[in-house]
Amino acid sequence: MPTVRSLMAAALLGTGLADAASFTLPTAQHRPWSLSQAMWRERVLIVRNPPAAYLQEMRRQDTELQVRDLRVVALPPPGDARLKGPPTLMLTLLVDEEGRVGQQFGPAALVGKDGGVKARYSTLPTLNTVNALIDTMPMRRQEQQERGR
């Protein structure tokens, strides 16, 4: 069930909360990755064409991403040097050859474990902004009680 905060965020951005359409794209290592494989296991922050500094910060924050089961899926342009960056557990670099997935989700979108789009961002959000929203979600609160973190 959407929180009041997520509904307000969606309304402010002029978007309705909806289910994310699943997609499958190749990773930088040419292996298929599907949004559906994250369902019920991870939240997914999809970011289109992020600067190298943004990816570096996400790599640096990998432990923080793990705590919230938050996978960052970055969609740099095909052939971009950012696709060759060092791997981390919670950062996935995908090749969106035709740009369709990036167009669908805009500059950035947060997809919950249930597959619902929880927020759309008109610019790339900071990890603190995303974490603040995640921490208001009932599923996250339950996780905190169960895990003690």
Alpha-helical runs (H) found in 17-84? 52-60, 62-67
pLDDT at 19: 83
What are the distances in angstroms from CA 47 to CA 70, 94, 106, 126, 128?
13, 10, 8, 11, 15
CA nearest neighbour of 2 among 12, 13, 14, 16: 16
Asked if residue 55 has pLDDT above 60, the reply is: yes
Assigned domain for 149 exists: no
pLDDT in tens, 129-145: 999 999 999 999 998 89
In whole angstroms, give the CA distance from residue 29 to residue 37.
Answer: 17
User: Considering the entire predicted model, what is its pTM?
Assistant: 0.85
Assigned domain for 110 exists: yes
pLDDT at 54: 97
**In the chain, how many domains are there?**
1
pLDDT-derived band of residue 3, with 50, 70 and 90 as boundaries?
Answer: very low
Domain holding 95: CATH number?
3.40.30.10
- The end-to-end CA distance of the chain, in Å, is 22
